[in-house]
């Protein structure tokens, strides 16, 4: 059985690593790893491969940056040739980035079976490009591997055949569990003992100067009482005024590799973010998470975990931060099957497609 994995951006890397590892020693399995190059900066790509123990990609499509249409179209054109040359039995796609949707559509049109890892998540906000990617990918996929039971419910409501849906748990947690001990040791010396960790990158927060200014004002105010560590995404840094005088306790950092950022998350008194993956990681770690968004495709982190949606209202963000500092953070529990074993369950399910591939070839 030949399984071709397609990844393109930082969130995909944490998800593919456990699956590659779980399939490595399975009998009769050949794997091909395709990196589309959607994230191409070494700080956002190469260092993650190294820290997660992911082998060098067999193929790099080097699509680079561009508009959503340009990036998606380039992936589609380049992945088509790869699929025709490599003839995989199954294409495994991860998450909700442009590379995921592009590879899924091309594979489906070529008659190659598609497995979507992290299927069924919905924000119900179609202004988010990721939501469009999720909807399209799940409609063309043959096997939908979900991280939480609310994702199963979303797929059933959309009319997906129940026989295609498998609840396998959150595979990104596998990487966290495996690397957390080393991540804790990797926290730089001199890191404050008490701090709030911040990451912002979504266009809705950083492209509008007024919104970004309001959020930064809250952080500056908070920095008077506690240290604030802010690894600045390249998208965000481009929009911040480099000449502004930041409070001494508001530390603007370069983007951090996975290991270092995970270590900082584990020790933070709270995390302020607009990232989907960080909502999940903080829930597992038991760290309060304040999500600067009006909605989330990971509602289980709110209903069961430590996540609170604060929108972009600075008053709400300020109040929730004060609750944490006063010793009243939100408590939560770990959702079912967020146990570090999802990679093995995914491998088992991918191999069930082997029978279907054989039957299909026999019919032809």
Q: Identify whether 116 is a catalytic site residue.
A: no
d(CA 220, CA 322): 14
Strands 250-253 and 227-231: parallel
The two three-digit tokens of residue 310, written as one number = 């604060």
* Greatest pairwise CA separation for the chain in angstroms: 70
The two three-digit tokens of residue 198, written as one number = 């911040």
Q: Which helix (H) or strand (E) holds 3?
A: strand 2-7
The two three-digit tokens of residue 129, written as one number = 């490009």
* Catalytically annotated residue among 5, 201, 233, 356: 201
Beta strands (DSSP E) in 158-280 are: 165-167, 195-199, 227-231, 250-253, 270-273
Angle, CA 235 vertex, CA 309 and CA 63 arms, to 5°: 115
Whose structure tokens read 């965000």? 236
What is the set of active-site residues?
Answer: 201
């Amino acid at each position: 059985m030949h399984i071709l994995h397609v990844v393109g951006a930082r969130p995909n890397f944490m998800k593919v690593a456990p699956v590659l590892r779980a399939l490595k020693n399975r009998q009769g399995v050949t794997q091909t790893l395709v990196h589309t190059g959607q994230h191409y900066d070494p700080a956002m790509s190469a260092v993650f491969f190294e820290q997660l123990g992911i082998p060098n990609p067999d193929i790099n499509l080097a699509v680079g940056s561009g508009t959503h249409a340009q990036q998606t179209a380039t992936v589609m054109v380049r992945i088509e040739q790869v699929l025709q040359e490599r003839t995989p039995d199954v294409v495994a796609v991860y998450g909700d980035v442009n590379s995921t949707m592009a590879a899924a559509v091309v594979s489906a049109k070529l008659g190659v079976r598609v497995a979507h890892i992290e299927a069924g998540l919905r924000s119900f906000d179609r202004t988010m490009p990721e939501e469009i990617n999720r909807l399209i990918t799940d409609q063309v996929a043959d096997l939908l591997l979900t991280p939480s039971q609310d994702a199963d419910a979303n797929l059933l409501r959309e009319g997906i055949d129940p026989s295609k849906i498998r609840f396998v748990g959150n595979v990104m947690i596998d990487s966290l569990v495996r690397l957390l001990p080393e991540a804790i040791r990797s926290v730089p010396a001199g890191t404050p003992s008490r701090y709030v960790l911040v990451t912002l990158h979504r266009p809705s927060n950083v492209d509008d100067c007024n919104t970004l200014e309001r959020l930064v004002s809250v952080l500056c105010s908070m920095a008077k009482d506690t240290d604030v560590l802010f690894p600045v995404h390249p998208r965000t840094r481009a929009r911040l005024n480099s000449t502004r005088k930041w409070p001494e306790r508001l530390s603007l950092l370069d983007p951090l590799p996975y290991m270092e950022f995970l270590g900082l998350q584990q020790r933070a008194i709270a995390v302020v973010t607009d990232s989907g993956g960080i909502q999940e990681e903080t829930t597992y770690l038991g760290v309060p998470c304040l999500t600067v968004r009006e909605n989330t495709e990971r509602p289980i982190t709110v209903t069961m975990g430590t996540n609170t949606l604060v929108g972009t209202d600075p008053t709400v963000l300020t109040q929730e931060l004060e609750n944490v500092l006063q010793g009243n953070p939100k408590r939560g529990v770990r959702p079912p099957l967020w146990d570090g074993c999802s990679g093995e369950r995914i491998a088992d399910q991918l191999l069930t497609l082997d029978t279907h591939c054989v039957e299909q070839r026999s019919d032809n």
